[in-house]
Structure 1
Amino acid sequence: MTMHLTKSQIGLDGVPAAETVLSHVDGERGELIIAGEHVANLAGKSSFEGVTARLWNSAGGKALTEANVRASLGAARERAFARLPDLLPATRGMSIVDGFRAAIAGLRGESGLEHEAVIVGAFPVIAGALVQRARGNDPIAPDPNVGHATDTLRMLLGRKIEPREATALDTYLVTVCDHGMNASTFTTRVIASTQADLFAAITGGYCALTGPLHGGAPEPVLEMLDAIGTRERIKSWVDDALARGERLMGFGHRVYRVRDPRADVLKAAIERLAADGADLPFAGEVEAYIRAALRKKNPERPLETNVEFFTAILLDALEIPRQAFTPIFAIARAAGWTAHALEHRRTGRLIRPSSSYVGAMPKG
């Protein structure tokens, strides 16, 4: 007798696929813990280099410091820039999102650098080069003596970066660096479980991230805000969209049943940045009305704001082009991907789930 799986079983909801010390997501409580610390506390006291050190130490039993990681990522950015003539030809004619995939697939080991540092260091160099090329400019050389967030913005924007801008991006990188067994992290661990190298595993993770159900919503959030346009149109636009059964971008999450804890961290970062460029009052009014409308529509299980709503506003305020939003997400998540791959290679086994066959059976 054929046993049909439920929708939840097909999606592997609630099925543990690994033991990890890297991050924990509690969707019922709205809680995210990264390497032993709540995300809000971590974003308030740690740089991206610091949280990357925590993740790599937890995954591989290392004893790296923030300074160690800062130095290795600075060196890796310089090495990646030197390799751009080899990496960029494969990206000709592609969008920034697709070109990023093609370029990172060409990464390989560098003498004197751990593979995880090569990857995390190369990502902003590649993203910056693709953005500059789209503007008709040459790539901007990295500065190994500044922080990862500052240098990422330098290479993307081609100008001096204000401390408050670097702090805002750094907060974003820390906040989204890891998030449990999400689709791209699971993909990374599956590939790592075959003993494929770290470069293959992380390339696969990025490919999963490009899907619109995973990392593709920040740009549509801005398109929604553009479509609403003015405060006077918020109510009519939202009500009409809900009446048509449309999905409102930046609301709802596969795991969280309450507000995404990362949303408030990024909202606070935008408020600190909002003196120049971030129209938080308008976005805040849109968010408040949508939340109220969703509670009215489905009071038993309203959709809450997720991280992508404030990601869109923050990255837009930093003048990062919308076409680069997915690579920017990958720059942050590369810390988590590499840590998960290292952890699985050290503690896990080949990931080989079974399936439920529902096809025809032989007649004889």
Structure 2
Amino acid sequence: MWLSAADALARLGSKPQSLYANVSRGRIRAKPDPSDSRRSLYREEDVDRVAHRSRGRRSAVATASEAISWGEPVLASAISTVSGGRLYYRGKDATELAEDATLEDIAELLWGTPYRSSGQPIEAQPSIQTLLSALAARISDDPSSAGRGTVLLREDALSVFATALSALAGRGQGPAHIQLAAAFGRPDAADALRRALVLLADHELNASTFAARVTVSTGAALSAGALAGLAALGGPRHGNAAPEVLALAEDIDAHPEAAEEALRDWLGERRAVPGFGHPLYPRGDIRCRALLAAIDLPPAFVRLAEAGRAILDEEPNVDFALAVLASAYDLPREAPATIFALARSVGWLAHGIEQATSGQLIRPRARYVGPPIVTAS
């Protein structure tokens, strides 16, 4: 399963710099060598896949097809990137920003305009459903993004974010993390929430962001892009995995002596184990480490992390950290999804501005694999 550097280089037929570049880009997963912490081991299947790709010139069809699933970058963006196992917002390390920045600070950085409150409070119970309804209600009235100047697009972003904040946190005052902590009834969680919001604000071309960019590329309003992003965020493979992590931790909490057995039960039921591993972070999700550094882990999560490392050979990811945050501060069950949606709305709007100003339509081609085409004789 794991190869030494020498074995990996032999299979790749390349120089060490090429191996390290593939690791930093997430193409080859790596982990410290248990017998020598100064060395690394490399995932065999990743090495073989990269070696196969490098043999001969690959067709444009094959390259494009593989790019859809954790492959090569498919469009240019100046907003964020993951490089060398770290996340950067416009060239600035997100984990360093998370030490003292607010979500509003990140909005200023990603949108390129000073943040100010905009819009009217929403008279409804704060929830994801309230945000879905509020964004849907805006679409028919909001201006098309097509041909709209950058200044006006930034004004649109401020207004859409105000809708998101009001729909998810209610009629509070102050920065987003203060309002969210008040909405949850947990003022002591404010700083941890601030850190989580900053770390989740953007993550290059993830599924929800791609959905938002595709929508805005048609000329739809920024609110329509945010609505598309929110819809994509709802799946357990993207922004809604934390509830399953909480459920697994509860299983372990009920039987603290059998954490690994509980994990094996999940695997035996063919259920994907949530909260572990990330293709872009072969040495562990840096966002998870940065968030957990500010939270005392409940015992069930300590046991879950140890069991995950032992059985899956993977480190916890940011979904695990969100579940820890919710458990440690006794937040409502829907809190992780709310945190994720509010934070990522900043990223969706940044990408919407960038996509609209490019003037390009995102329209990939499909590789047809259906029945043979019958032509007219």
Cα 1:338/1:148, change in 2 over 3 Å: same
Please name the residue that 2:158 is paired with: 117
Q: TM-score, normalised by structure 2?
A: 0.73
Trace 1:1-364 onto structure 2 (pairs within 5 A): 9=66, 11-26=68-83, 29-57=84-112, 62=113, 64=114, 69=115, 72-73=116-117, 75-76=118-119, 79-81=120-122, 84=123, 88=124, 96-107=127-138, 114-128=155-169, 141-143=171-173, 146-157=174-185, 161-162=187-188, 165-229=189-253, 230-271=255-296, 279-295=297-313, 303-359=314-370, 360-363=372-375, 364=377
Report runs of 4+ in structure 1 exceeding 6 Å deviation: none
Amino acid aligned to 1:150: I
User: 1 or 2, which has the higher helix percentage?
Assistant: 1
Give the deviation of 1:174 after TM superposition. 0.1
Distance in structure 2 (CA, Å) of the matches to 1:254 and 1:8: 18
Q: For each residue in 1:78-137, what CA deviation from the matched residue of structure 2 results, as whole angstroms up to 9, or x when unmatched?
A: x133xx3xxx5xx9xxx95444322322236699x92211222222321245xxxxxxxx
Letter in 2 for 1:292: A
Unaligned runs of 5+ in 1: 130-140, 272-278, 296-302
The answer (yes or no) to whether the contact 1:109–1:118 under 8 Å persists in 2 is no
Q: Structure 1 residues 194 and 170, CA, compared in 2 at 3 Å: closer, same or farther? A: same
How far apart, CA to CA, are the structure 1 residues paired with 2:244 and 2:276?
Answer: 12
Give the corresponding residue for 2:5.
Answer: none
Task: State the structure with bigger RCO (CA 8 A, min sep 6), 1 or 2.
Answer: 1
CA distance in 2, matches of 1:17, 1:241: 35
Range with greater deviation from structure 2 (255-264 or 338-347): 255-264
3-state SS of the aligned residue for 1:45? Answer: coil
Question: Which whole-Å CA distance do the structure 2 matches of 1:285 and 1:316 have between them?
Answer: 14
2:148 aligns with: none
Cα pair distance change 1:244/1:202, threshold 3 Å: closer
SS at match of 2:181: helix
The TM-score normalised by the length of structure 1 is 0.75
CA shift for structure 1 position 196 = 0.9
Structure 2's unaligned 5+ residue stretches are 1-59, 144-151
Root-mean-square deviation over aligned CA pairs: 2.8
Pick which of 193-202 and 243-252 moved more: 243-252
2:77 maps to a residue whose letter is T
Judge conservation of contact 1:4–1:358 (CA < 8 Å) in 2: no
* Residue aligned with 1:51, SS: helix
